[in-house]
Structure 1
Amino acid sequence: LMSFASRSNEKAFSFERYVKASHVLISADGQVCMSGLRSIFSLIRNGQRAKMVHDFPQYSVKVLPWLSPEVLQQNLQGYDFRSDIYSLGITACELANGHVPFKDMPATQMLLEKLNGTVPCLLDTATIPPEELSLKPSRSAADSGICEGPRAGGLRLSNGEPSSSSGGHPYNRAFSPHFHNFVELCLQRDPENRPSAATLTGHPFFKQIKRRPAEVLPELLQPVSPITCFENSGPQDSVSGLASLESGLSYLEVDDWDF
């Protein structure tokens, strides 16, 4: 997230318009790269840097959840790099919630929800009412990633981990106030109210990290095998694979970053 935020700024000569979790590539040594480059749009027109864009991206139906309201409304005001900031907030929700917001909505409804100012959020005990958390996940309305009720108070846990007393509901957990605030800033309906990339990189959510991301990420990725390890390999036994993953997670330390 920090890598993408640092690249989306008002002085850039291009921006992506949408980025999603599948575009974020992390190497075994903690280096972060962005893919999905076909969505990049150059701001240079006739030798001049354009201030606003009116172009509508190709393949838009598949990426509607990540597109900002100003991109979707296609009016004469156009849009600029701040549409990337909105996309960053959607990606944060996607990574934290395990699915992209609006995923269960028809395209037309999704468009109307965004234009009417419906804002996705992190799903936890602060945004989902207690009665919702008591339902089975399959009956919960939280699957859309939309906060449909007032914030509910409750026990706040650390690191966004589900509570063992939650009865199995995946969102009976608590993210940090800094993470909530970061997402809220990115997903402001009015692009004028969204912070710049420079402001975001100084947000307390990023400031709390004590070590460089390249030093932390390899530890966070420790239970995960690089995709190259699966090339030319046969199917693995699921039981032994889960046991190996559980063993790896037991040694994982995530105290440096409070989600």
Structure 2
Amino acid sequence: MAEGSELNQESRAKWPTCPDDYELQEVIGRGATAIVQAATIKKTNERVAVKRINLDRCNTSLEDLLKEIQVMSQCQHDNVVRFYTSFVVQEELWLIMKLLDGGSLLDVIRYTMQRGNCRNGVFDEIAIATVLREVIKGIDYFHSNGHIHRDIKAGNILLGTDGSVKIADFGVSAFIASGGDNTRDKQRHTFVGTPCWMAPEVVGQQPTGYDTKADIWSFGILAIELATGTAPYHKYPPMKILIMIIQNESPTLDMCAEDPDQYKQYSKTFNKMIEQCLQKNPTDRPTAKQLLKHDFFKKAKDHSYIAKHLVLKFQERKAMEEKLANRRKLTHMRSIRVIDDEEWTFSSGSDDDSSSANEDSTNPKLPPLENPTVQNIEELIGKPDAVAKPNPPVDDSTSQLTVQEMTSGIKDLSIDNNRIFKFTLRIRNTQGELNDIKFEFNKSNETVKDVVSEMVSANLIHKLDADLVTSIMSQMVENSTDISTTFALKSHVDSSSTPDDKLLIGFAQLSLNI
């Protein structure tokens, strides 16, 4: 490590240590005490990543932060994110690192699951083998130099546009060393990491502690994550996850499947590797160096395969969103209001201008949801009255009948072609957050299908729900009355959450404000 450290010190000399030399740009990651932003060095126009750690809110001691910096500054490997320099800015510690524009593995997983049918697997086995081979190379580098990463997961694996794969987030990494005589303490006793990826010996706080084999367990969970899209037990509360890791049998792909044949596309070799990594007894797990020789990695390709099959598709989506953002002046905030056919603006849920205030006084608000901040269904356990039985799937004919029933007996209104229809679509995004999408429709210069297509392009609604939303919205325009209807989403395929029309889990609510 000494030679690499000297090289790093020499290279760090060219990186500015003044915040004014950096132009901060988009946020690419956010945690409880830190935020990661893309930035450009003003003098060289080079793009970097800036991890800004709030020292006032950070529970980590300064000594531990310095250790983190020390770990990063010593790491020189193709599969580990490159660290450049660090400095303090008021109450923040800024870490300057190499920027990877391909996104994290978690980003790519979410995009793939959102855009395609992933019931039988998120990535093909070649892609998984190619990614995991690069990850285990980085883990082997860590272990060979006396480090445990302790938080190996898809969110901490970053991709370059060239298909490179790099391990990031050294915030919980640790030396396996103690004392000043370079003697090694082969065990750690600190309880750190993310619950779903924690090894049993980390969770159970064994008297003997844990060692590098804890990363091998996390690597096995990562393999399942790349195949199924989620880690085992992800739908449970943290404390229950910890208990299940200790008490349950080791996770397998079959255990994560809804039916026995769901993940049959994956080979016995892949399943065997997962089984070897997820041995309850750490001594039974292979080392990173042994894993590199596993037969599973014989099917791995080079970086170009990752660039083409994972990164490029993700980049195409980002490019599409940026193009739409420039055309529609989109900004990522709470809710959306379509002003006209050429400009979209967002608001945080309340507008500053007087016209919005007048609108609020004349248009009825949507009824409040019960417990809208629920993050998972377990928070509703013990509250049977808060969970409604899911309605049957809604097709076009059902939605039409619902609107007709709600508007029966009401005198038809003559529709002026220049009239503006004001809608609110209440729906959860891919992260489960509840959003109010406010938009206007002018019958004289656009069609309902046009408006819905715009929302699909902006990823505000799923393409599977486009026809249904179009049908319901068209009926509302035709009947022209102040109504609201709740309907089941055809895109809802999350088996871990129970559909609920009151909490709008698997449902959405469209309202026309007259």
Structure 2 residue aligned with 1:194: 285
Structure 2 residue aligned with 1:11: 144
Shift of 1:227: 8.6
Asked whether the equivalents of residues 138 and 166 of structure 2 are also in contact (C-alpha less than 8 Å), the reply is: no
Structure 2 residue aligned with 1:65: 196
Structure 1 residue aligned with 2:159: 26
* 2:276 corresponds to which of 174, 185, 208: 185
- Which structure has the highest strand share of the two? 2
Shift of 1:173: 4.4
Shift of 1:186: 0.7
Residues 202-254 of structure 1, C-alpha deviations (whole Å, 9 max, x = no match): 11110123x42x12211212322179746686159465689xxxxxxxxxxxx
Asked whether the equivalents of residues 53 and 78 of structure 1 are also in contact (C-alpha less than 8 Å), the reply is: yes
Structure 1 residue aligned with 2:470: none
**Distance change >3 Å, CA 198–CA 237, structure 1 → 2:** farther
Residues 21-71 of structure 1, C-alpha deviations (whole Å, 9 max, x = no match): 1111111111111112101111221233221111222xx5xx111110001
Aligned with 1:195: secondary structure?
A: coil
Counterpart Cα distance in 1 of 2:150 and 2:206: 16
**Distance change >3 Å, CA 28–CA 73, structure 1 → 2:** same
Aligned with 1:95: secondary structure?
A: helix
Structure 2 residue aligned with 1:166: none
Alpha-carbon RMSD: 2.8
**Distance change >3 Å, CA 241–CA 202, structure 1 → 2:** farther
The one-letter amino acid of 2:308's match is E
Asked whether the equivalents of residues 133 and 297 of structure 2 are also in contact (C-alpha less than 8 Å), the reply is: yes
The one-letter amino acid of 2:291's match is L
Shift of 1:108: 3.0
Runs of 4+ in 1 over 3 A off after TM superposition: 226-233, 235-242
Aligned with 2:314: secondary structure?
A: coil
Give TM-score, length-normalised by structure 2. Answer: 0.35
Structure 2 residue aligned with 1:215: 304
Counterpart Cα distance in 2 of 1:19 and 1:223: 24
Asked whether the equivalents of residues 117 and 189 of structure 1 are also in contact (C-alpha less than 8 Å), the reply is: no
Structure 1 residue aligned with 2:294: 203
Residues 67-114 of structure 1, C-alpha deviations (whole Å, 9 max, x = no match): 100011112110000000000011111111011111122333322221
Bigger Cα Rg: 2
**Distance change >3 Å, CA 198–CA 115, structure 1 → 2:** same
Counterpart Cα distance in 2 of 1:228 and 1:106: 32
Structure 1 residue aligned with 2:47: none
Shift of 1:115: 1.4
Residues 114-162 of structure 1, C-alpha deviations (whole Å, 9 max, x = no match): 11242112249xx75xxx53xxxxxxxxxxxxxxxxxx5x6xxxxxxxx
Give runs of aligned pairs for residues 38-57 of structure 1, distance below 5 A: 38-47=171-180, 48=182, 49-57=184-192
* Unmatched runs of 5 consecutive residues or more in structure 1: 134-151, 155-170, 243-259
* Unmatched runs of 5 consecutive residues or more in structure 2: 1-131, 331-452, 460-514
Asked whether the equivalents of residues 8 and 81 of structure 1 are also in contact (C-alpha less than 8 Å), the reply is: no
Identify the structure with bigger relative contact order (alpha carbons < 8 Å, sequence gap 6+): 1
The one-letter amino acid of 1:223's match is K
